[in-house]
Amino acid sequence: MSTVFSPPDYQHIFRSLPGCCLLLTPDGTVVECSVGFATATGQLRETVVGHDLAAAWSTAPTLVPHLTDSLAHVQANRQPHTIRHNAPGAPLLLTQSPILNAQGELLFILHTAEPAPLASNDSTNSNDSSALHKLQQELNTANQELQQALSEANTQRKRLHSLFMQAPAAIATLRGPKHVFEMVNPGYQQLVGNRPLVGKTIREGLPELEDQGFFELLDSVYQTGQTYYGKDTVAYLDRHNTGRVSPYHFDFIYQAILDTAGQIEGILVFAYDVSERVSSREKMEHSELELQTANEELATINEELHASNEEFHANNAELSSTQQELRSLNLELESRVKARTLELDLTRQEAEQQRARLERFFMQAPAAICVLDGPNLVFELVNPGYQHMFPGRVLLGKPILEALPEIAGHPMWQTLREVYRTGVTHEEKGIMLSIVRTAGSPPEDLYFNYIQQARFDARGRIDGILVFAYEVTEQVRAQQREAHAARAFETMTNAVPHQVWTGTPNGDMNYYNQQWYDYTGSTFEEVKGQGWQQYCHPEDLPRQRKQWLRAVHSGQPYQTEARLRNREGVFRWFLIRAQPSYNDQGVVVKWFGSNTDIHEQKRLEQTLLESEQYFRAMADNVPAMIWVTRPDGQCVYLNQQWYEYTGQTEQEALGFGWTNAIHPDESEQAGQAFRDANDRHETYSMVYRLQTNTNLYRWVVDTGKPKFSATGEYQGFVGSVVDIHERKMAEQALRLASQRLATTNKELRAAHQRSQQANAELALTNEQLTRINQDLDNFVYTASHDLRQPVNNMAGVFEELKRSATFHDPEAEQLVQMFEGALHQIHTTIQGLAEVVHVERRNEQFPLEPVELLPLTNGVIQSMKSQVAALKAEFELDFKALPTVHFAQLNLQSILYNLLSNALKYAHPDRKPVVRVSSEVAPDGSPVLVVQDNGLGLDMERYGSDLFKMFRRFHDHVTGSGMGLYLVNRIVRQGGGHIEVDSTVGVGTTFRIFLPKE
């Protein structure tokens, strides 16, 4: 299992120190406290951190001024400063040591407290004092080395961070199980533009990766620690933060980060954008993966780490020796020396881990990387990707000219020397290099993309070169093959007598052969993409463009005929064809098309068409039925008169289908007579009965003559059919005329007498019906008028009775309600009868007039606004098809009021009423008014026949007279229209009022 170790937690290390140590900011504020200081002073760490040094030594107030002066000395001189504190029984040496960065700036101040050597004049203690003084010096030296190690570790950590920031790849570190972005280098940031990532989980920072599998891979690596390598993996990213994602391909590594305890605490993400490489391999088009720069200080770091390791080992040995000499003298000091040794070991381990981490970074990178050291450019580091290009050849430790002598005369060698001399990064793409991969093998011409970048030491001097390389031989050769194929294709297409072109998958043109340019006089810049449209005829272009877009979207072959303008501005007809080319996945990668000149063919077709149209026009206008046959007797043409006369279609009549229109008694005889005449090439004539389009038979005479070509070749018949029915009937009638003339005259006189008598009876009946209708209307009007006042009086009396009388019968309330219902029903019936009479009289009084439907409907809806508001009803009005109709306006208003009030009255209780009122035109041209609701609906099978009857009601949960639909139907029918109803129980009802045509 491959893992990455994170840098040690220096705060944790500092807190664990057994010595008395404080870490101060330049202004003297305590930012960290060791466990040794807290134990020795009897304070809690939390009471020390965040306060000044005086607070930390509050138990020794006389010491504070000296500490203040010592801090000022360190701040001014950037040098360590030590003062002596004669504490009772245990004198101390208090040292303030500056911690500087590479630029000499003060970052922190390390405050330490050490036991001071005991002052004594006893000669017997001189040796011990000397040894103790020596130990003190060693401890001071160890402190300085510790500070230096911490400073170097901090510097290396910054270098490592700088390396990640400058690496030519997308690098990020994710912390915790939710994968929170802790560090993002510019290469990674470029994947999402200016979108902030640090501090966010990857699901928050890159939400577009949801359901693409990456979150699941990260979870798996975090749980198992198993490194995941992705190759040519597609990811859909919104790189420009526009809300639209696009596909990109990556080589990437997900690698677990371990803490000092070996536990997984995060994931290192290392990715390369290989979209261009993938595109080049799939489409054989020019594409390269740009290489980015790598960190130039890798070798310097390795050397410094190596020197640091040796120094640490030396310090360890010296400290160990000192411990052995002084063990018997001071066990406490020995413990401190061990602690210092542990700290140095931790620092060394950290440096080693950082070096190993950098080495793993380069060894696992999905690119060929090497580091060349010194002016001789000796291979100092070679990762597997670089070594793979030279199997069997030893590279490490050799100068590049010794390891790869074949590059001596190559520009690569010159650019390496130039980069080492100037420090200016050099980049090449697709450069060829003849390389002997293995000893004894012939040289191979290989192609590379590479970056040569200078490496600088700690003082900024060039001491080596970092090389990032990709072998792109396959891509370059593919491009060469594509270029060769393109030249061959161009040569071939220029040799054919047609215009040839190619297009991209999205339909943009990217190539035309010479015939196109010779014809149009255009340049490629004028016609690339969609520029070809300017040479199309304006009448053809909309159709042509629509067909081309349909073909591009469907991936189906394209064919059309259109006119193209030549260099003189003259349009000629072309047959335009295009065929898509697919890749192995069935995706269109290119279009190949051709334009073939068919102008002369179209001109001949037009001439023939005009000749045929002239013949057909002439034949269709002669007062006879014309027919033409082939030599085998099959009928190939019948003029329009035949189809209008017989009602046959062309499909039914051609061939021998015309015989089906002959009367069965003569059909076989007529067909045989024609076949005999056709066989003998003689004139054909036959009289028979022919079925008309009204299914009646009429007598016709059918005659035809054979036709021959100029060479005498028989070509079939040309004939005509003439209606002789009247003549035939006249002949038959003449034979019977003398016999039936007398009888007919007698019958005609009797019929005339009966007709006069019937007309008189009919006039009398109509007069009686008219009088009855008038009497009935007068009666209804009188009854409704005369009954209205008594009913109103009864209502008034009943209201007074309810107000003043007292009822003791327990059923009295129910009887009162029944009586009120009866009064209301009588009143409603009287109103309905009166409305019937009013409708009848309005039909007589109000003529038809133009009525605008929208204002009329809005007026009706406004009149019901309280009911509309109570039900929160919605109305949809659409009169675009027919804004105005011709009808009596008051009658149309009454129709709309009844239908719309019914729609609200019988609304479905479970939904808001939605009523749609619209207009349309029937197939026969009649105006239609449509009222559609989503109410209770009607059972049409049960109530359909009673729908428009007087006093019929179909829902009992609301009151009504049963007159509304009767009145609507009567108004419409009296106006010359009719009503169609479509209704479904629980869904709603649609009324279509067909009004008379204007």
**Given pLDDT bands bounded at 50, 70 and 90, which one contains residue 465?**
very high
Sort strands 3-5 and 246-258 into parallel, antiparallel or unpaired.
parallel
Q: b/e per residue, 608-626, with b = 16+ CB within 10 A?
A: eeeeeeeeeeebeeeebbb
Q: How far apart are CA 219 and CA 267, in angstroms?
A: 10
Write out the E strands in 176-211. 180-184
**Given pLDDT bands bounded at 50, 70 and 90, which one contains residue 57?**
confident
Task: Give 796-843 pLDDT, tens digit per residue.
Answer: 656 666 666 666 666 666 666 666 655 555 555 555 555 555 555 555
The residue ranking higher by pLDDT, 463 or 789, is 463
What single DSSP character describes residue 534?
G
For residue 81, which of 107, 52, 112, 103 has the smallest C-alpha distance? 112
DSSP 128-174: HHHHHHHHHHHHHHHHHHHHHHHHHHHHHHHHHHHHHHHSSSEEEEE
Say if CB 472 and CB 448 are below 8 A apart.
Answer: yes
pLDDT at 990 over 90: yes
Average pLDDT over residues 966-995: 89
pLDDT at 409 over 80: yes
Percent of the chain with pLDDT over 90: 25
Burial class (CB in 10 A: 0-12, 13-18, 19+), 509: buried
Retrieve residue 147's tokens. Answer: 């500070």
Retrieve residue 278's tokens. Answer: 């993938």
Residue 382, H or E segment: strand 378-382
Coil, strand or helix: which one is 592? strand
pLDDT at 555 over 60: yes
Q: How far apart are CA 918 and CA 915, in angstroms?
A: 10
| Lowest mean pLDDT, pick from 148-152, 276-280, 311-315 | 311-315
Average pLDDT over residues 30-46: 82
Q: How far apart are CA 152 and CA 308, in angstroms?
A: 9
pLDDT at 847 over 80: no
Q: How far apart are CA 129 and CA 132, in angstroms?
A: 5
pTM for the predicted model, two decimal places: 0.32
Q: How far apart are CA 934 and CA 984, in angstroms?
A: 10
Average pLDDT over residues 121-137: 48
Q: What mean pLDDT is reported for the chain?
A: 79
Average pLDDT over residues 167-183: 85
Retrieve residue 385's tokens. Answer: 């990707």
Retrieve residue 362's tokens. Answer: 């380069």
Order the strands of the 92-100 sheet from edge to edge.
30-33, 20-24, 106-115, 92-100, 81-85
Average pLDDT over residues 644-662: 91
Q: Can you name the residues that pair with 932 across neighbouring β-strands?
A: 916, 990
pLDDT at 592 over 50: yes
Retrieve residue 257's tokens. Answer: 């980060």
pLDDT at 770 over 60: no
Burial class (CB in 10 A: 0-12, 13-18, 19+), 670: buried
Which value, to the nearest 10 degrees, does the dihedral of the CA atoms of residues 668, 672, 675, 680 take?
A: -170
Percent of the chain with pLDDT over 70: 71
Residue 600, H or E segment: helix 599-621
Residue 268, H or E segment: strand 264-273
At which residue do the structure tokens 């019968």 appear?
809
Average pLDDT over residues 229-254: 87
Q: How far apart are CA 120 and CA 322, in angstroms?
A: 23
| Lowest mean pLDDT, pick from 135-144, 432-441, 567-576 | 135-144
What single DSSP character describes residue 656?
T
The residue ranking higher by pLDDT, 476 or 272, is 476
Retrieve residue 794's tokens. Answer: 């009864």
DSSP 452-506: EEEEE-TTS-EEEEEEEEEE-HHHHHHHHHHHHHHHHHHHHHHHSSSEEEEE-TT
Spell out the SS3 assignment of 661-677.
HECHHHHHHHHHHHHHH
**Other C-beta atoms within 10 Å of 641: how many?**
19
Q: What pLDDT shows up at residue 276?
A: 75
**Given pLDDT bands bounded at 50, 70 and 90, which one contains residue 124?**
very low
Q: How far apart are CA 459 and CA 266, in angstroms?
A: 34
Q: What pLDDT shows up at residue 129?
A: 47
What single DSSP character describes residue 297?
T
C-alpha dihedral sign at 798, 799, 801, 806 = positive
The residue ranking higher by pLDDT, 985 or 621, is 985
C-alpha dihedral sign at 917, 920, 922, 927 = positive
Coil, strand or helix: which one is 604? helix
What are the two backbone dihedrals, phi and then psi, of residue 932, each rounded to the nearest 5 degrees? -125, 130
The residue ranking higher by pLDDT, 760 or 712, is 712
Burial class (CB in 10 A: 0-12, 13-18, 19+), 257: buried
